[in-house]
Amino acid sequence: MTPQEILAQLPYGKSFLFVDELLDVDENGAKGNFTYHKDLSFYEGHFKNHPVTPAVILTETMAQIGLVCLGIYLLRDIDQDVSIAMTSNAIDFLKPVYPGEKVTVTSEKVYFRFNKLNCKVKMENTEGEVVCKGNISGMLISKDNG
């Protein structure tokens, strides 16, 4: 399965897609990037006159690249209509991410068993500084039952 095929299966619309490019994916993890363009709607109110990317958006970006893209890859041979949904996370936020910044997310599979995927994830800025890191878990869900 190619990175382009994985991106085509992501269940997000353009306004909530936080993956520009999937650089690498295999049985053990995924790596991709995203640029937080200055015109994204959440910057208007977070924070007035000094916009910063909300932590929930940073977490979502790590989940989309590090958990969902990896999950799609791991499920490539499953003959069911299922996807991965985030169930828990524990993230440490170390540096702010500002409008216009490009980040790279790297995940490492901790385990995938009993329909649960757990990954160690980190996000780095273009200078290679870790801006946030932690663990994210997700469960297989049937797309029919949402």
Residues designated catalytic:
46
Distance between CA 22 and CA 32 in Å, rounded? 4
Residue in 136, 105, 117 with CA at minimum distance from that of residue 23: 105
Evaluate the CA torsion angle 117, 135, 61, 4 in order and state its sign: negative
Distance between CA 138 and CA 146 in Å, rounded? 14
